Amino acid sequence: MIKKFEVHSLKYGIPAREYGILVVISQKEYSQTKISKITKVDKNITLNMIDALEAKSLLKRQKNSNNKKKNLILIMPEGKKLTKELYKEMLETKDSC
């Protein structure tokens, strides 16, 4: 199913793993470290994916007022829209399996 979904997500320029980050931060803002723990992806790979999503203007980093050493990762409106569209694609992929 993941490979089939990847075909759909890549139409939007988003690998499935990056979509996972969008899903996580669509619910709540988190630090990069927390996202890495939630997704169970190495922190350096998570950093690269966050960089890629930020370059696509789907998320942004914001200083954490409670911890100056950490940034919070926030989803942008275009990221929310894309997350919803890809969720529909994922459901359709699931139904076709």
The answer, as to whether pTM is greater than 0.85, is yes
Domain count within the chain: 1
Between residues 60 and 11, the one the model is more confident about: 60
CATH number at residue 28: 1.10.10.10
Tokens of 30: 């988190």
pLDDT of 22-37, one tens digit each? 999 999 999 999 999 9
Q: Tell me whether residue 96 is in a domain.
A: no
What is the pLDDT, as a whole number, of residue 8?
A: 79
Range of the domain at 80: 2-89
Q: In this model, does residue 42 exceed pLDDT 70?
A: yes
Q: Is there a domain that residue 95 lies in? A: no
Phi, psi of 15 (to 5 degrees): -65, 155
Inside any domain, residue 47: yes
